Amino acid sequence: MDLATVNALSYEDFVDAFGNVVEKCPLVAAAVWSKRPFATLTALEAALGEFIDALPPSGILRCHPDLAGRDLRDGTLTRESSEEQAAAGMDALGSEEASRMSRLNEEYKARFGFPFVICARMNDKAAVLRQLSERRGNVREVEVTRGIEEVKKICRLRLHTLVLTDAPKL
């Protein structure tokens, strides 16, 4: 849809369309609806980012599923997460990789109190495993900041799949 259509959406339609740009957190879309009209896609993205920054950080991180976790195996991921994880190869882990991923996910959650968040669309399974292994050694403040950055990357990519860019037509 184009930006004029986005700006004309009712509250319900806006939340329906953008309610999962931040995983399972329609509150974000609901909160920025009142900021319409958005002059550009960048302005919409900025409004979402500002609201994300105002939220308790670990809460928004808890909305994300484990990578290659139970939700993927059970088929209960959101459509967006399912596509993103599949693109990164999370649905094609060998048994040893799956076991390692599960163990690292549990260690990460035990250490930080929220799931490991990484923009799967910008990584492959080797990069995800490497980052998960490395990042679990960070201090909590670093991981909260990094996790929020990753949430914003995911949000940005999801927005760009929903809204036509601001680029002029030739």
Q: Which residues are catalytic?
A: 64
Phi first, then psi, for residue 108 (nearest 5°) are -65, -50
Token pair listed for 34: 């009142």
With vertex at residue 143, the alpha carbon angle to CA 137 and CA 151, rounded to the nearest 5 degrees, is 140
Task: State the alpha helices, DSSP H only, in 23-118.
Answer: 26-33, 41-54, 57-61, 70-74, 79-87, 95-112
